[in-house]
Structure 1
Amino acid sequence: MILIVLTAVLILTAGGCACLFWAARGGPRWTHTVARATLAAGHVTTALLRPGRSGSRTGSTSDDGGSD
């Protein structure tokens, strides 16, 4: 069962990427809609997979080591 779900996700991802390329080259209107949906799904997935993004952003950019 999990193999079927993973295969479906892989097919949808490949189709979404194909629509991204096709829409970037001026494809039909429906490819632009699918491309937007693919990008939105990617942003949602990225946001869900990032750990601990609830507070202010403090991190490695302030530790450059050359300001003293």
Structure 2
Amino acid sequence: MARCEICGKTTIFINKVSHSHRVTSKRQKANLQKVRAIVNGEKKRIWVCTKCLKAGKVQKAI
């Protein structure tokens, strides 16, 4: 299962509730992007969630 390399965000399971209030389990995936980033001085492709990208926690490689 993919997860964010920075914060560890991954898939969560929630309850989907219909109009008649029937409850079923639903899988909600994190919005992960594969990004070329600088990690320990070298360029690597890592999975990063969009929240970490927008916060500037990742230094993108050119």
- TM-score band by shorter chain is under 0.3
TM-score, with length taken from structure 2: 0.21
Q: Which has the higher strand share?
A: 2
TM-score, with length taken from structure 1: 0.20
- Structure number, greater radius of gyration: 1
Q: Which has the higher helix share?
A: 1
